[in-house]
Amino acid sequence: MKFQIHEAIGHDATLIPAPLNTHEAAHEFTDTLARLLQVEPARVIHDEYRTAEYVWTNVTVSLPLVGEAVFSVDSRKTACEAVRLYLDNKAVPFAWAGGANVGRILAGAVVAAVRQRDAARRAERPRGGGARPLGPFRKRALGGGRLH
């Protein structure tokens, strides 16, 4: 699917390497989300801020009818602790096996969270077991009630 990533990169000091290739992960994350959820991203933003001490990266993918998926990377931490994943501002758990494609793993976790959230919403909805009370327009349509 076609999408454009809008990048905002700030530098406050000499560059240090990030704990993972966030540009590659951002593309893979966005592409996998779009493919698995069958929805074209409305907006993709890749924010990055670099200082002498750390690199902070935030990738936000806005998906119509799904929500906002975000992953953040903080270079002050190592491996899995460096990456955080969110769906509509709620943390999403994920399992990261070393050497695996980070973007695909994160997208898969978001897709699982979307499906779990949607299933919970469906379970909360009341089932249509009883008859609905007839309003004045439905009574008239069914031949009851007074017509002027």
pLDDT for position 131 = 56
Asked whether residue 84 is domain-assigned, the answer is: yes
In a domain, 141, yes or no: no
- Element spanning 136, H or E: helix 136-141
pLDDT value of position 79: 64
Kindly tell me if the per-residue pLDDT of 12 is higher than 60: no
Burial of residue 135 (number of CB atoms within 10 Å: 0-12, 13-18, 19+): exposed
Question: Is 136 inside a domain boundary?
Answer: no
| pLDDT, position 74 | 86
Q: Is residue 143 part of a domain?
A: no
State mean pLDDT over 34-60: 88
Q: Find the domain containing 53 and state its range.
A: 5-122
Considering its fold, how many domains does the chain have in total?
Answer: 1
Would 45 be classed as within a structural domain?
Answer: yes
What DSSP character marks residue 41? Answer: -
pLDDT of residue 112: 94
Task: For residue range 113-123, list pLDDT tens digits in order.
Answer: 999 999 998 88
Asked, for residue 145, whether it belongs to a domain, the answer is no
Q: Is residue 20 part of a domain?
A: yes
For residue 79, being part of any structural domain is answered with yes
Res. 102 pLDDT band, cuts 50 70 90: confident
**What is the share, in percent, of the chain residues with pLDDT greater than 70?**
68
Q: Over range 51-79, report the average pLDDT.
A: 87
